[in-house]
Amino acid sequence: MSQQPITLILDFGGIVKISPPLWPNHQLNVQPGDLSQFTPNGNGMYGYFQRTGHPFFGADPHEAQGGIVYFSNSPDRSDLEAMLRTIGVSLNDKDYAVFIQTSKKPRKEGYLHQMRIVSRFALKSMFGAITEEECERFECQSLSVGDMLWLFLDSNRRQFGTNFFNSPELDGLFGGDGDFSREELSFGFTVENAYYSVYRIWSRAWLVTK
C-alpha cells in the first residue's frame, strides 16, 4: 500500500494567483499562509471566539451561520453552492488570496490537499498583511470564490478518482487495509472566520467497509 508523499495536482489553467506561505515585504505575527493554524471567529469587537468542537457550544454567539461540514466527492455544483451559501460563504467575491498545502503524512495530519481563501479585508484588517494603500491596489482574482472551490474539488477528483475501486493512490493512506476497508475521496470545509471571510477546504478520505 502506498505511503509516499502525495504530489500536488491542481489544474486551474494558469489563471489563479497562488500566494506564498510567507507573505512578502511584511513582518507579521501570524502569517495568512500558515495553514497549521486556524483563525478564531468574530470581528474583535467582543473578543475573538475559539471553537470548542461541542455541537451545541461550538458556534460563535455573534454569528448566525458558519461551522464545519464534511461531504462526499459526488455533489453537483448547484448542491455544493447551495450548501455553502447556507453557511454564509460569499461565493461571488474575487478579492482574495489563495494558500495551498499538501500533506506529507495524510493519516496523521488528516488531509491530502488543503486550500485557504483569505479575503482582501482579512489580509488588511485581521492579519495586517497589506496596508490601506495596498488594499486599494489589490489585484483581484479572475475566478470567484465559488469557481475556486469547485476547481479544487474537481482537481482532487481527477487525481484521486471518485470511488474506492479506482483510487489506488489513496490505498492505505488513512488506515485502510486494501480489502475490508478501502479509502475513497471526500472533503471537509470550514468557515474559519465569517466576519472577515476566511475559508478552508481540504480533501480527505473515508473508509468504505464491506
128 contacts 42 by C-beta, under 8 angstroms:
no
pLDDT confidence of residue 3? 47
pLDDT-based confidence at 210, cuts 50/70/90? Answer: confident
The three grid cell numbers given for residue 104, joined into one nine-digit string: 506529507
Q: What are phi and psi of 181, to 5 degrees?
A: -135, 130
Question: What pLDDT digit, counting tens, does each position of 163-191 carry?
Answer: 998 888 899 999 999 889 999 999 999 99
Query: Helix or strand or coil: residue 157?
Result: helix
98 contacts 117 by C-beta, under 8 angstroms:
yes
| Whole-number average pLDDT of the chain | 90
pLDDT confidence of residue 2? 44
pLDDT over threshold 70, residue 20:
yes
List the beta bridge partners of residue 98: 18, 117
pLDDT confidence of residue 150? 95
Question: What pLDDT digit, counting tens, does each position of 51-82 carry?
Answer: 788 888 888 888 899 999 999 999 999 999 99
Domain boundaries of the chain, sorted by first residue: 64-209
Angle at 32 between CA 189 and CA 5, to 5 degrees: 65
Per-residue pLDDT averaged across 137-154, rounded? 95
pLDDT-based confidence at 14, cuts 50/70/90? Answer: low
pLDDT over threshold 60, residue 9:
no
Please classify residue 172 by burial: count the beta carbons closer than 10 Å to its beta carbon, then call 0-12 exposed, 13-18 middle and 19+ buried: middle
First-to-last C-alpha distance (Å) of the chain: 18
Q: DSSP labels for 71-114?
A: EES---HHHHHHHHHHTT--TT---EEEEEEE-SSHHHHS-SEE
pLDDT confidence of residue 76? 95
Work out the angle between the directed axes of helices 77-86 and 145-160 (0-180°, nearest 10): 130
Which contiguous run of DSSP H or E holds residue 145? helix 145-160
Which contiguous run of DSSP H or E holds residue 158? helix 145-160
Question: What pLDDT digit, counting tens, does each position of 33-55 carry?
Answer: 999 999 988 877 767 788 788 88
pLDDT confidence of residue 8? 52
pLDDT over threshold 50, residue 1:
no
pLDDT confidence of residue 142? 92
Give which of 97, 69, 74, 35 is closest to 153, Cα–Cα.
Answer: 74
pLDDT over threshold 70, residue 118:
yes
34 contacts 126 by C-beta, under 8 angstroms:
no
